[in-house]
A and B are shown apart, each in its own frame.
Chain A
Amino acid sequence: MRFITMDVKKCVVCRNCEYACAFRQSGNFRREDSNIRVEYHNDVKICLPQTCLHCEDAWCLEICPAAAIVKDEDTGAIEIVSERCIGCKMCMLACPFGNIHFDKINMVSRKCNLCKGDPNCVAHCISGALQYTTVQDSCLNNREIFHRFIESILDINTE
């Protein structure tokens, strides 16, 4: 199963992901419609993209009294079925990362559904901070980066 990884060393808070997601949800560029949020702390220059991690053991899904949160078996996405959502906000309280938000117009909870396996936020992430990848690949990638870093400080030129 793939999920969206976020590299805080590559995010520049350009907000292309937020606008792209907002566009997918509402056809507009209203950032509050976006399921991905990018926090920026100007004083310490911390850039923090945040979106649903699609937990294996998803508390939001467990707690939903309307059974409106389901797992897509193809993509592994934990999704909200808006038609079933009663707007009780239990899922928002249950999510330890705050990755669910409330749509005040339709009175339902909203969250990332991985765009059926082709997340729009990743496609519009121009810095490469967001990747749609598996845990294994993400791990391999980190290992590779670390390996090259070691090579580099030891001045082993492999090119």
Chain B
Amino acid sequence: MCDNRCGINVFVENGSIVEITGLKEHKWNNGRLCVKGRLGVDLVNAPDRILTPLKRTESGWQEIGLEQAYDEIAEKIKTIQSRWGERAMSVWKGEALGFLTQEALYRRFIHAVGSPNYFSNDSGCYVGRWMGYAIVTGDWATQDFLYSKCAIIWASNPPYSQPNLTQSIFKGREKDGKLIVIDVRLSAIARQADEFVQILPGTDGALALGIARQLIEDDTIDHSFIDNHSVGFIEYSLYVREFTPERVEKETGVAAARVVSLAREIGGRRPKVSIYAGNGLEQHENGINNIRAIACLDGLLGNFDHQGGNFNAEKPKFRDLTLYSEKPLRHLGPIGADKYPVLYDVRQECHTMTAMDTLLTEKPYPLKGMILAGANPVLTNPNSGKVVKALKALDLFVVRDLFMTETAELADYVLPAATFLENSEFHCHPIHQTISLSKKIVSFQGCDTEFIFLKKLAEKLGKGEYFPWKDAEELNRWMLQGTGIKYEEVLAHPEGLEYAPRRYQKYKEEGLPTKSRKFEFVSEYLRDCGYSYLPEYIAPAYVRSPNPEYPFVMVTGARKVFYTHGRNRNFKRCITAIPHAEIEIHPSDAETLGIGTGDMVTVTSVVGSINIPVKVVGNSEILPGVTQVTHGWRESNINLIIPDDRNDPVDGFPLMKAVEVKIEPMVKHETENE
């Protein structure tokens, strides 16, 4: 339901779930739960849940039996693969149904049937940050906020997106800690910041490089770490010299003196500095390098894998469900891997934006079938109009979901799915290095879990040998083989079983998990792939070459307290409280445009226009000339006007957080006055 994965108690009466509360013993949420967590009750019992398979016919949706649906789908897959080749089939994993096991199972299934085309929400979210950090340090760091003396929340709003981080940030701050928030908007967490640094969208890399320059100049850096455990410091330190406080001010809008004081504050608190890099950093044309620039600060401050800093959590070594080593299919040309090889090679992600082009043009080869589970790209991928056209071009489009989403409406078959409370799967909390197993609490006739669905379908396609486990328990036991973790022991610890004690500075003995085994201020790997060796800063297009026709820069995707991406809009109580999309505008811009809260405006980009109500925010909440729209709304779907062809060259992430737009009061049509 949400990737924060709190420990919860689920209460059942007469076979139905009636209440969800926080599990007091769980180290992650300590018994607390945001209102989204309680909404699990609404999710399972929702009156609009899909409980019967639906088939598209000329006269509309027709209800059919589950076995018949699976048989028909299997036959259609066989037809597609024999006519167009095995790689013409694909899967798309979303986040509405399950977690990590689900992802691995979809990767396994698609390889089992001979195609490399695994798509997911990850080619537009999370993986950019993971890659930015992994290029520098080998992994995405976990923040040790509880012991930190300086928590930096960069382009993220944990109270809404990662609620449990909030507790640890404040607990850590009690002990003379500082909270620094760097963001475009004055977010919920920024309200409590000791330092709130308001920055222009997409210019974060310049600020990070400017802080680095100042740290080096002040000599508040960890020489021992740099000398013994890093590569490329000399080249990097020469490059950052360009980023004087004055240059940084020009690029980012952050005053030169502030850049210096910020660097001194951070430098003075090293090595107990924890930096959390948020989603606001990655949906940009220079996203990866901006994130690399931030990750490089860990090399200077000596906070890397340090108590109170950013540590590399150890993960449980589950048996691998994917088939990338057993049955690699790179040679079949995974969609997008030619254009964004790093995305495929580092994360084995095919590129969803390229998929839309492939569906419409059949280039580089025809893609004809797709099984999409718990995702809603019509609302969450850029250029929604094109997404709709592309998905309609599929010969076979199967959607598994709980509800009739905007994407499910386009499907040939909509199959009922199971919620996380109808499945048993592992959850890891790297921050505590604990593992737990959620229990299957209820089940609904005909709502298979993703595992059972894939197993049955694989059997019908003659690939049953890849899914030998009879149920979730057998699968879960198999995953634990060789890990030294006992299934029964995990079951006995709903609050989380520690699989490895936390260790710091593991690199001293083991090296870092990067290519060079060292902290990489520069990347040979990226240079070999034809990209920048350094975490190079390139100013966003709206700064580099402003277009007077589109004077505003629009950020999208800030989180709201009830909604997880495109989800939960079908819950009436949420809609009563936060009823619709809105465009956040600075009071001075509102005055110039002659508009107020609640007025309708037309927002236009090069892609198109939408109409949307205005919310005039407080003076300090957003900078003049900057606007924000939260995604995920059927009405005023902002992704209708987001381009899908302005992608970061390294990870292929779409530009969603610095889009040039114009805003005009909506023209009222004559008919409205009648």
Contacts and interface: CB of A to CB of B under 8 A. Distances in A.
Interface of A: 9-16, 19-20, 23, 27-31, 40, 42-43, 45, 47, 122-129, 145, 148-149, 151-153, 159
A113 to B, nearest CB: 18
B538 to A, nearest CB: 33
B35 interface: yes
30 contacts: A10-B170, A12-B188, A12-B191, A14-B188, A19-B35, A23-B35, A23-B573, A27-B573, A29-B35, A29-B576, A30-B577, A45-B186, A47-B191, A47-B192, A123-B22, A123-B31, A124-B34, A125-B32, A126-B32, A126-B33, A126-B34, A126-B163, A127-B159, A127-B167, A128-B32, A128-B167, A128-B170, A145-B175, A149-B175, A152-B149
Interface stretch (B280-288, B351-359, B467-475, B618-626): B618-626
A55 to B, nearest CB: 27
B164 interface: yes
A129 B173 CA distance: 13
A151 B147 CA distance: 14
A19 B561 contact: yes
Contacts of B188: 12-14
A133 B176 CA distance: 23
A127 B166 contact: yes
A127 B170 contact: yes
Contact of B171 (A12, A124, A126, A128): A128
Contact of A42 (B21, B22, B38, B618): B618
Contacts of A10: 170, 192
Given A11-B192, A30-B577, A43-B619, A16 B561 contact: yes
* 8 tightest A-B CB contacts, nearest first: A42-B618, A152-B176, A126-B163, A29-B577, A12-B188, A14-B159, A127-B166, A148-B175
Given A19-B577, A29-B574, A29-B577, A124 B147 contact: no
Contacts of B22: 123
A29 B175 contact: no
B176 A153 contact: yes
Interface in B172-204: 173-176, 186, 188-189, 191-192
Contacts of B574: 29
B573 A123 contact: no
Given A12-B188, A126-B29, A126-B32, 14 more contacts: A19-B577, A29-B573, A42-B618, A42-B621, A43-B618, A43-B620, A124-B34, A124-B35, A126-B163, A126-B166, A127-B159, A128-B32, A128-B166, A153-B176
A134 B620 CA distance: 37
Nearest to A11: B192
B569 to A, nearest CB: 13
A12 B619 CA distance: 18
A32 to B, nearest CB: 11
B519 to A, nearest CB: 25
Given A23-B38, A47-B192, A124 B32 contact: yes
B303 to A, nearest CB: 15
Interface residues on B, range: 35 or more
A124 B159 contact: no
Contacts of A31: 577
A14 B307 CA distance: 29
Interface in B147-176: 147, 149, 159-160, 163-164, 166-167, 170-171, 173-176
B430 to A, nearest CB: 20
Contacts of B621: 42
A123 B31 CA distance: 7
B573 A28 contact: yes
A80 B17 CA distance: 30
Contacts of A47: 191-192
A12 B188 CA distance: 5
Interface string B543-581: 000000000000000000110000000000110110000
A122 B164 CA distance: 14
Nearest to B308: A159
A122 B188 CA distance: 18
Contacts of A43: 618-620
B127 to A, nearest CB: 26
Contact of A124 (B33, B175, B176, B189): B33
A20, A28, A45 interface centre (most CB from chain B within 10 Å): A45
A16 B39 CA distance: 12
A103 B55 CA distance: 48
B197 to A, nearest CB: 14
Given A42-B618, A124-B38, A12 B573 contact: no
A46 to B, nearest CB: 9
Contacts of B577: 19, 29-31
A148 B174 CA distance: 8
Contacts of B176: 148-149, 152-153
A42 B191 CA distance: 8
B158 to A, nearest CB: 9
Nearest to B22: A123
A152 B175 contact: yes
B22, B29, B166, B307 interface centre (most CB from chain A within 10 Å): B166
Contacts of A16: 34-35, 163, 561
Contacts of A9: 170, 173, 192
A158 B22 CA distance: 32
Contacts of A122: 32
Contacts of A30: 576-577
Interface string B599-626: 0000000000000000000111100000
B452 to A, nearest CB: 34
Given A42-B620, A43-B618, A126-B159, A159 B147 contact: yes
A114 to B, nearest CB: 16
B17 to A, nearest CB: 16
A10, A14, A47, A123 interface centre (most CB from chain B within 10 Å): A14
B11 to A, nearest CB: 13
A45 B191 contact: yes
Contacts of B29: 126
A45 B160 CA distance: 18
B576 to A, nearest CB: 6
B183 to A, nearest CB: 13
A66 B666 CA distance: 55
A12 B307 contact: no
A40 B175 contact: no
Nearest to A126: B163
Interface in B32-69: 32-35, 38
A29 to B, nearest CB: 4
Given A23-B38, A47-B192, A123 B32 contact: yes
A122 B30 CA distance: 11
A123 B33 contact: yes
A159 B307 contact: yes
Nearest to B162: A126
B21 A123 contact: yes
Contacts of A149: 174-176
A45 B170 CA distance: 16
